[in-house]
Chain A
Amino acid sequence: MNIQGKRNIWKDYQKEIATDRYFYVRSCVRQNFFPGSEKAFLRILKEELSRDVYENASHTTCSGIGYHSDVVPFETAMTMVARQFALMTESGYENFTTSCITSFGLYSEILETWHHFPEVEERIREHLLRATGRTFKKPANLSHASDVIFKFRKEIAEKAKHRLINRKTGNPLKVVEHIGCHYSKMFPSKGVGGAEYPYVLVGMIEEWGGEVIDYPERRHCCGFGFRQYLVKANRGYSLACSKKKFESMAPYKPDFILTNCPGCPMFLDRWQYALSEMEGITYGENGFGIPVLTYEELAGLVLGYDPWDLGLQVHQVTVDPLLDKLGVDYDPSAKFTGKNGIDLGKPEPPTFLKFYQNE
């Protein structure tokens, strides 16, 4: 990777990220896909960094998934988002932090629309007032949760129990970073490092000791495009996008993939299973897949959290070989034991993709 060229680009895309008092809004889908991630974010901010993070139980979907699937009109989406801003205002916060990349993209798009068309903002304020009796202030700072972890990457590095170094070889772990399309492809100035070479995940990887892989299809979509996977007839396009990325990154032998979007880890993880079952191909070492982590899961591992508390047992591509490389002390027998001690049952192993270490 020509790092100097990237740094020249990154310095043009610096972004202000609030340092405390976050109004945090969750994603619609992440708690099902990777259930430990958002909890890990809250734990890191509250317990490790002693920051004030507030969640409002009345928060609903931002409707971004419906908007990007062409079933929710923009006017409706704007009113929904105005209601989220009203919840923030009522709670006494002004730094809005989203867990979801599509929410972040939609909030950015709406704030930009209101900036250029104040009459639209006025109309939406009227809609909201008439429908709910609420008023709102616009956020003083809008950030994605990965921006916040990026902001505190040095503090996390200081508390690190594990660095991204292969314990067996002593070499830095090779990491593929994948940014959600709605993070900065829509508004490059809203993302850390811009759209071509976003720095948000690269900064975390570098700070925690890993090495970033630059590969040809780095900025290609993961395949989570809503209209690709929602309609079964189009789902082959989604699979083809992921396959294109895997084939492009596999020759560089990455140790894992790091993502900051709800959909990317889901599809880069699950499609490895689907491709192995359909075509008999695997992309990792020794018949395993390439593990896929969210940035919260990685931060949690770096801070020494138990991998099963982070929800790593629900990944389709097993993360055990990565935990061994990192030197994480984990209990393999507790992998499929719930928090209440109940045995969750072992998943059936896939036909081709290696899932258990001792197979």
Chain B
Amino acid sequence: MQGQQRFLIWAALAVAIGMPIALAATSEQLAWRGPVYILAGFAGIIALGLVLVQPLLIGGVLPGLSAYRSRRIHQWIGGALAFAIVIHVAGLWFTSPPDMIDALTFSSPTPFSPFGVIAMWAIFAVALLAALRRRLGLRLRTWRFIHIPLAIVIVACSVVHCLLIERTMETVSKAALCVLVVVATVKVMVDLWRRRALRGESIAQQ
């Protein structure tokens, strides 16, 4: 890959994640909100950005990273994602405990809350299983069998959660980031599935 192309891919990723954060930071609404609520909101936005990076790392889309390093970074970012969600939920709980309790017990009036809570549990489940994978003796196939459906749940629920929330993110940059998350996930999963199907075919022919 040429240097210019490498630069463009990294720059595009930086804009895709940096732009929604920057635009949310210029929101007039921030003046009326408490610092903890603002922190919780940005933890959520950063989490969505991290969800975009995850499939790109696994798909080998990001230039200059070996497959091994991509996988290691994917694991670290998974941990960071779980941490960002803890900050997000804790900050919202601090701001208004009854609203957060409603959300966590699936009795919230806001339609986006259950999607966020489902995504949260899926993220925690993946993080926990990833941490215990060796100890549990999970084989790669078993691990993928668990991780891929949970990853789909995380992506789908996170995107719906974000799109339904009003006035935390700027609308256009939010929609763009959500589209990128979905496209990246679908592309990488289809590629992986195809690659494995091809491999299966070549083994069968031997």
Question: Are A and B a genuine interacting pair, yes or no?
Answer: no
> A residues touching B (Cβ–Cβ < 8 Å)?
none
